Amino acid sequence: MFPFLRRRRAIGYGFPVRRPLLRRIRLARFFNRFGVFALALVPMLVLASPTLASAKTLPGGGSIHVVKKDDVTPALDCFSQAVFGRTYTYTDTGAIAASLKANIYLPQNDQDILNLKIKDAGLAAYGTISNGLEVVLAGERGVVINDEQAAIAVGGLAEIALGGYSAPADQTAALALVSEVAPALSDLNWTTVTTQHGNYIFYAYGTRTYTTGHGPVEAAVGAKATVYTGPEGNTVVSVLVGTGGLANLVK
């Protein structure tokens, strides 16, 4: 059936046979024995192979596709402290493999901005909190990040969203909630964009200094804070921040 295989065996008899050649011989015998059935079996094997990513339900609804990687909690803590000025207690953490979907803690426009960068980020991680969610993105896919603060300075996106607050009485009270959730941003010059039906949207732009492995680096910062009434009736505070080259995405 395959005379060239017999010739190769005769020529190479008594000498070591390379592994690629052995694989070709075995594959040829497999197709010779099972014929058309073998051709039908190959795509079945491919379709049946397990994927690395799995879907997880997020607090507040919605889902996220995650992939098992090393513990991302240290990176989340670093981003939280550097960008928001505090850390949070996580009930679960993971590396994001695909987009976020319909989570009530994150405004839709914020989700759209995050989803633009998730697939291209070298670090894409989430941390669920008992009353909210945090997402951080930085770097480029395929590039190992060993200095989180340097990655933040070059270009990062991070969002923290927490629910369960009482409705603020006015704009000042709403900004006080923003400062509670993200104290590192309290000294920015926030501009009010919307104050309708007890919902508030603020924007702020400025610079921040991040302590990298090569010393302090000053980087641009763009921030958006949303204080609104969630589906459960309590107030949700979300803060989206872009740093470095991604600061201009937050607008």
Statement to judge: residues 26 and 65 lie in one domain: no
Statement to judge: residues 37 and 126 lie in one domain: no
Statement to judge: residues 150 and 61 lie in one domain: yes
Instruction: List the single range of 10-14, 16-20, 47-51 with lowest mean pLDDT.
Output: 47-51
What's the domain count of the chain?
A: 2
| Mean pLDDT over each residue of the chain, to the nearest integer | 76
Domain end call among 48, 66, 83: 48
Cα R_g (the chain), whole angstroms:
26
Q: How many CA atoms lie within 13 A of 153 on its CB side?
A: 16
Instruction: List the one residue out of 117, 105, 116, 108 whose CA is nearest residue 151.
Output: 117
19-34 helix and 36-48 helix, angle to the nearest 10 degrees: 120
At 105, the amino acid letter reads: Y
Confidence of residue 29 (pLDDT cuts 50, 70, 90): low
Statement to judge: residues 23 and 59 lie in one domain: no
Instruction: List the single range of 10-24, 36-50, 147-161, 235-249 with lowest mean pLDDT.
Output: 36-50
Q: Which residue has the higher pLDDT, 94 or 36?
A: 94
Residue given tokens 């896919």 in the structure block: 141
Q: Which residue has the higher pLDDT, 209 or 39?
A: 209
- Domain span holding position 207: 53-249
Q: Which residue has the higher pLDDT, 30 or 115?
A: 115
Statement to judge: residues 43 and 61 lie in one domain: no
pLDDT at 44: 27
> What is the average pLDDT across 108-136?
90
Q: Which residue has the higher pLDDT, 18 or 126?
A: 126
Statement to judge: residues 235 and 173 lie in one domain: yes
Statement to judge: residues 44 and 58 lie in one domain: no
Residue given tokens 């190479």 in the structure block: 12
pTM summary value = 0.71
pLDDT at 143: 54
Q: What is the pLDDT of residues 125-151, one digit of tens each?
A: 999 999 999 999 988 765 556 688 888
Whether the per-residue pLDDT at 119 is higher than 50: the answer is yes
Whether the per-residue pLDDT at 202 is higher than 50: the answer is yes
> What is the average pLDDT across 96-108?
77
Statement to judge: residues 35 and 15 lie in one domain: yes
> What is the average pLDDT across 29-53?
35
Statement to judge: residues 71 and 188 lie in one domain: yes
Q: What is the pLDDT of residues 210-251, one digit of tens each?
A: 988 889 989 999 999 999 998 778 899 999 999 999 999 998
Q: What is the pLDDT of residues 65-100, one digit of tens each?
A: 344 455 789 889 999 999 999 999 999 998 887 677
Q: Which helix (H) or strand (E) holds 196?
A: strand 191-196
Statement to judge: residues 106 and 213 lie in one domain: yes
Statement to judge: residues 22 and 142 lie in one domain: no
Statement to judge: residues 134 and 13 lie in one domain: no
Q: How far apart are CA 246 and CA 243, in angstroms?
A: 5
